[in-house]
Homo-oligomer: A and B are copies of this chain.
């Protein structure tokens, strides 16, 4: 499946403001970026670096006035996300070094406090993928998904008490529950085709059966349509923009994901 994604952000800047953006998706085993556009208006120097999780980040200083960030990508992804019911729990000793860190508690995923609860939710399930399926179903049944109620990030503990949340919140609680069972889990932020209302999206991945698998408690069942932008322990690591100084919100934010018929698109060279 080919998707065209775009994210356009506009800010009204009053004082020179440092930004760290995370808006450049990477090609990987599960997605191929065939076209990518990234425009900053007005044009300012941008320094790109790779963070400790492997994400591409862009640093810049936004000057006073209207400031626009415009990104787009044409991406090939699998028609359906890989699933592996029954995939086994990976014993700690067999986890790759780089995966171990995803067992630790993090800002919004206090996995050190969910051990009892996760054990109850997954009672009777085979260790591994099936435990995560049980957790995801529990989230769907228990935590009311409220896509419009955007707000400040809250932690898994708060989400659990509150009983409702945006995609990010459900992912946080899912991650905390998985880690408490020694299943490595990480946050993914990106695009999701067909999301209503359209917005940036968050879901989570777990490491079972020797690789990462995607889970999304906001959907009735996992399907295709995910384009990952960033990976991290939780939302603290994968903000698509981190801005420093006085609080500042986009005056406009347009996200779009559409399916395209890639081979037929007009090559730019032909324009």
| Chain A residues proximal to chain B, CB less than 8 Å | 6, 18, 20, 26-29, 32-40, 43, 45-54, 57-59, 61, 72, 76, 91-93, 97-98, 100-101, 103-107, 109-110, 112, 152-153, 155, 182, 236-237, 242, 244-245, 266, 268-269, 271
Assess A92 versus B244: contact at CB under 8 Å? Given A37-B34, A37-B268, A72-B268.
yes
Of B51, B52, B91, B107, the contact of A105 (CB 8 Å cutoff): B107
Q: Is the beta-carbon distance between B104 and A237 smaller than 8 angstroms?
A: yes
A54: B residues at CB distance < 8 A: 50
Closest approach, in angstroms, between the C-beta of A211 and any C-beta of chain B?
13
User: Chain B residue with minimal CB distance to A244?
Assistant: B92
Q: Is the beta-carbon distance between A110 and B112 smaller than 8 angstroms?
A: no
A112: B residues at CB distance < 8 A: 152-153, 236
A47: B residues at CB distance < 8 A: 28-29
Q: Is the beta-carbon distance between B104 and A18 smaller than 8 angstroms?
A: no
A155: B residues at CB distance < 8 A: 110
Q: A47 CA to B39 CA in the complex, in Å?
A: 26
Q: Is the beta-carbon distance between B28 and A34 smaller than 8 angstroms?
A: no
A153: B residues at CB distance < 8 A: 112
Q: Is the beta-carbon distance between B236 and A91 smaller than 8 angstroms?
A: no
Closest approach, in angstroms, between the C-beta of A101 and any C-beta of chain B?
6
Q: Is the beta-carbon distance between A182 and B38 smaller than 8 angstroms?
A: no
User: Chain B residue with minimal CB distance to A36?
Assistant: B36
Q: Is the beta-carbon distance between B33 and A35 smaller than 8 angstroms?
A: no
Q: Is the beta-carbon distance between A104 and B50 smaller than 8 angstroms?
A: no
Q: A184 CA to B5 CA in the complex, in Å?
A: 34
Closest 8 CB pairs of A and B: A18-B92, A49-B97, A27-B48, A52-B52, A105-B107, A92-B244, A35-B37, A36-B36
User: Chain B residue with minimal CB distance to A53?
Assistant: B52
List, sorted by A's number, 14 A–B pairs whose CB atoms are closer than 8 Å.
A6-B269, A18-B93, A27-B46, A27-B58, A28-B47, A32-B45, A34-B38, A34-B39, A35-B268, A49-B97, A50-B50, A105-B236, A106-B107, A266-B271
